[in-house]
Structure 1
Amino acid sequence: MTDQKAPFDRVIVLVLDALGIGALPDVHLVRPNDVGSNTLKHVVQASGGLSLPNLERLGLGTVAPGSGIRVEPSPVAVHGVFNLGYKGADTYLGHQVIMGSRVADVPEELFEVVRDEVAQALIQKGHHVEAAGEGLSALFVDHAMICGDNLESDPLQTYHCVGSIDDIAYEKIVEVGEILRSVARVRRVVAMGGYGFHAADIRRCTELRPTGQCGVNNVALGLYTSNYVVRHLTQGTRPDVQVPTILKKAGYEVELLGKVADVITCEGAHKEPHVLTGQVLEATYQSMARVRSGLIAINIQETDLAGHDESAARYANCLKLADEGIGRIMSMMSSRDLLIITGDHGNDPTIGHDKHTREFTPLLAWSPGIKPKGIFMRDSLSDIAATIADVFSVARPEIGTSFLDDITV
């Protein structure tokens, strides 16, 4: 479906997962461990300098002038900065806001609270269950995988099921993850698989943290560097008030590529939950050749994984690959296309912990022939959803303020 009155036929939203450009002013109160975080700046510094010609041309250096990348004197994009618009620093929460809904309230609790319920549910389905170790609340399932708290997420938010694909089929990990999801009340259960380690390694890397979280230290395990495979099993989503579902119901095409395919619910959307950056970008090029009118939403996840891995070098390499992909995306666009680039939080690999960091993210909006300007601070990532709804003249999402006038005037 194409509305000839609409200023654009397609909107392409590209989230560079964990591209933070400086700590929010409230971190000293709500996340003291994030004080001083600046993901982009510290990745550039640790790399000894970084060239990102396409992002620089769009204005990334302009909105992050202290980051160390080139400051383009005349950016070609409408450029600004986003406040996150949600509490914490989380991909799942960030994407709900990006798509236009408030974050629903769900119970927040450690895995130990539901441990016995999870064990009973697994046993009833024929699985073998035992404690992961003395004094540990995490469970060792089928002599192959661990169920427990996800240590790389904030406490009380996310559980995981971690297994080796060298030992068992990934579908078996997902099966156990879905049983965990049926019992868990928290927002997210993550079914994680990888290569190059075995059950004994997973069990050895299971630990209890001072936060009360008990699960696998995936960084120590090397999971994020081993052809990581993941499914995000979520609850508390509100698709009916989010822009992908609103667009789909109005007859537009919606494609969700990369991690966004897992964390956003949209019935009837085309979904490809790739992890590797090359695969996500290739899926994007194919989507652009296929979709004529609607939304293509993309998440480049490996930057986030590099942050969890506390590897600035890996983060820099992922950014360079993404920048090359952005150049190709731009070359495939016409004046009827709008590209919006942002992040969903930070993940500073130099800050001294392996969790996300609460940071501002960039706003870069470009279309061939667009009139560049600085619009700087936006209150919430949800402004993206409101702008998309405004482009297609569909019902507004639950939250967000459109910046379409700043793009088309």
Structure 2
Amino acid sequence: MINRVILLVIDGFGIGALPDAADYGDADANTVVHVAEAVGGLSLPNLETLGFGHLAKIPGVRAMAQPNGSFGKMGFVSQGADSVVGYWETSGVIQARQASPFRSVFPFEVISQLEQSFGRKVIGNRLGYAQSLIDEYGAEHLSSGAPIVWTDGGWTCHVAMHTSAMPAADFYQCCRDIRKAFKGVLGPQRIVAHSFSGEAGAFQLSGGRKDYVAEPPAVSMLDVLNRSGQIVMGIGKVHDLFAGRGLTRAFPAVTAMAALEETTKLIAKMPRGLLYASLDLLTDEPATAATVLEDFDRRLPDLFEKLRVGDVVVITGDHGRDLTRPAKVPTREYVPLLVTGPKLSQGVNLGTRASAADLGQTIVEALQAERLPDGESFFEALRAG
């Protein structure tokens, strides 16, 4: 009998282009392999023992003959490549929406709404990622007070302001109002608020990020588990990505390692249910990402030693983020699927799952909750004996 599932979702943990990746300009994307190549190989012995090396030819990572976990990879049916797509589909919600119209810039209608909500002009409005935008526009922002905005190529609008430019509460309220203003119209699905500090040449994100997202349009894994009486804990940005729906309790975390530490602590306390953790590991230059990923791997034994019979640990991703590309935006990729736990089957090749919704269906079956509308469970393959 399965009592607890620990789900670790690594942001940007891609393992190779999806069949339709060319439609997104991502035909050659492979986040993990390209990071490994850039640094001359990765040392990930704990992921290696779970079967990680069977998913691709990753420099430094061996394909173990007898993994002690089960392994595979998952694709996405929903269009796009961002955290909303990844987390929602992993939780059983497949979105029937078109590809994002915000691949490189936001149109006049979106910019107009942003300027109306903030009561001032905005700057930026291009494809990019947080650190690059605040480095490029930070000085202008400090002199003008104009919020910095950018797209990551998906349905997300990122907004950044220096901590001295506007009180944090006012900044977050503006972003919350913007998300509401776009509700039900063809606008960004998620507004991400970034605060930063420092001076020109030394700007840095302050850790005050907040995500404002519409509720999932259909029943999710969190909903059915909550209704069945299971405890559902969200760590990191999980609360924001589901607008809090279906969660028993949320634990925000500033860094990926803080989220992992919180997860490890909660394993010792939580009697049953789902521990759903978001880990933003792959967000920087390849060398930094490699160091952080190897640090994550080193910490896994601390988590594993707290497991007991009836526990399942799943390690996966929400999309790719090929950090060898200049823009460092999400890429349309498969994500790893690594599963382990006491008394579970070992060395099972779970194959290539067409939809990440298969994982959500597996988790609700394992925890004896009602079926989700989408996804095919692979729980039977995990049963030992």
Sort the TM-score into its range (normalised by shorter chain): 0.7 to 0.9
The corresponding residue for 1:217 is none
After superposition, give the CA deviation of every residue in 1:52-105 in whole Å (9 maximum; x if it has no partner): 111011111122234441222211111111122322211111101011112254
Higher mean alpha-carbon deviation, 66-75 vs 41-50, is at 66-75
1:80 aligns with 2:72: yes
AA at the equivalent of 1:144: G
How far the C-alpha of 1:255 sits from its partner, in A, is 0.5
Aligned-partner SS, 1:161: strand
The corresponding residue for 2:280 is 301
Q: Which runs of 5+ in 1 are unaligned?
A: 1-6, 123-127, 202-220
Asked if 2 retains the 8 angstrom alpha-carbon contact of 1:118 and 1:179, the reply is no
1:129 aligns with 2:120: yes
The corresponding residue for 1:259 is 237
After superposition, give the CA deviation of every residue in 1:285-332 in whole Å (9 maximum; x if it has no partner): 2221221110001111131x22xxxx0011111111221232211111
Give the one of 187, 192, 195 matched to 1:193: 195
Change (3 A) 1:90 1:132: closer
The corresponding residue for 1:162 is 160
Change (3 A) 1:181 1:147: farther
Asked if 1 retains the 8 angstrom alpha-carbon contact of 2:4 and 2:367, the reply is no
Q: Provide the TM-score with structure 1 as the length reference.
A: 0.81
1:350-369 matched pairs, under 5 angstroms: 350-369=324-343
Quote the Cα distance in structure 2 between the aligned partners of 1:236 and 1:147: 26
Aligned-partner SS, 1:322: helix
AA at the equivalent of 2:147: I
Asked if 2 retains the 8 angstrom alpha-carbon contact of 1:23 and 1:35, the reply is yes
Give the one of 24, 28, 35 matched to 1:31: 24
Q: Aligned residues, how many?
A: 361
How far the C-alpha of 1:259 sits from its partner, in A, is 2.1
How far the C-alpha of 1:130 sits from its partner, in A, is 3.3
Change (3 A) 1:70 1:170: farther
1:288 aligns with 2:288: no
How far the C-alpha of 1:147 sits from its partner, in A, is 5.6
Q: CA RMSD in A?
A: 2.7
1:42-121 matched pairs, under 5 angstroms: 42-103=34-95, 105=97, 110-121=106-117
How far the C-alpha of 1:168 sits from its partner, in A, is 4.2
Asked if 2 retains the 8 angstrom alpha-carbon contact of 1:63 and 1:376, the reply is no
The corresponding residue for 2:128 is none
After superposition, give the CA deviation of every residue in 1:254-290 in whole Å (9 maximum; x if it has no partner): 1011122221232452112323122111211222122
Change (3 A) 1:169 1:394: same
1:279 aligns with 2:258: yes
The corresponding residue for 1:21 is 15
Aligned-partner SS, 2:333: coil
AA at the equivalent of 1:397: L
Asked if 2 retains the 8 angstrom alpha-carbon contact of 1:147 and 1:159, the reply is no
Asked if 2 retains the 8 angstrom alpha-carbon contact of 1:189 and 1:233, the reply is yes
Quote the Cα distance in structure 2 between the aligned partners of 1:142 and 1:104: 42
1:229 aligns with 2:183: no
Quote the Cα distance in structure 2 between the aligned partners of 1:235 and 1:294: 25
Asked if 2 retains the 8 angstrom alpha-carbon contact of 1:161 and 1:173, the reply is no
The corresponding residue for 1:384 is 359
Q: Provide the TM-score with structure 2 as the length reference.
A: 0.86
Asked if 2 retains the 8 angstrom alpha-carbon contact of 1:277 and 1:318, the reply is no
Asked if 2 retains the 8 angstrom alpha-carbon contact of 1:161 and 1:192, the reply is yes
Asked if 2 retains the 8 angstrom alpha-carbon contact of 1:160 and 1:177, the reply is no
Aligned-partner SS, 2:121: strand
Quote the Cα distance in structure 1 between the aligned partners of 2:232 and 2:120: 41
Quote the Cα distance in structure 2 between the aligned partners of 1:345 and 1:278: 19
Give the one of 309, 314, 318 matched to 1:344: 318
How far the C-alpha of 1:352 sits from its partner, in A, is 3.7
The corresponding residue for 2:219 is 241
Q: Which runs of 5+ in 2 are unaligned?
A: 126-136
Asked if 2 retains the 8 angstrom alpha-carbon contact of 1:43 and 1:312, the reply is yes
The corresponding residue for 1:270 is 249
After superposition, give the CA deviation of every residue in 1:118-175 in whole Å (9 maximum; x if it has no partner): 44444xxxxx4235499xxx99799535164x33x115x2223211125544333212
AA at the equivalent of 2:379: L
Change (3 A) 1:230 1:407: same
How far the C-alpha of 1:398 sits from its partner, in A, is 2.6
Asked if 2 retains the 8 angstrom alpha-carbon contact of 1:259 and 1:301, the reply is no
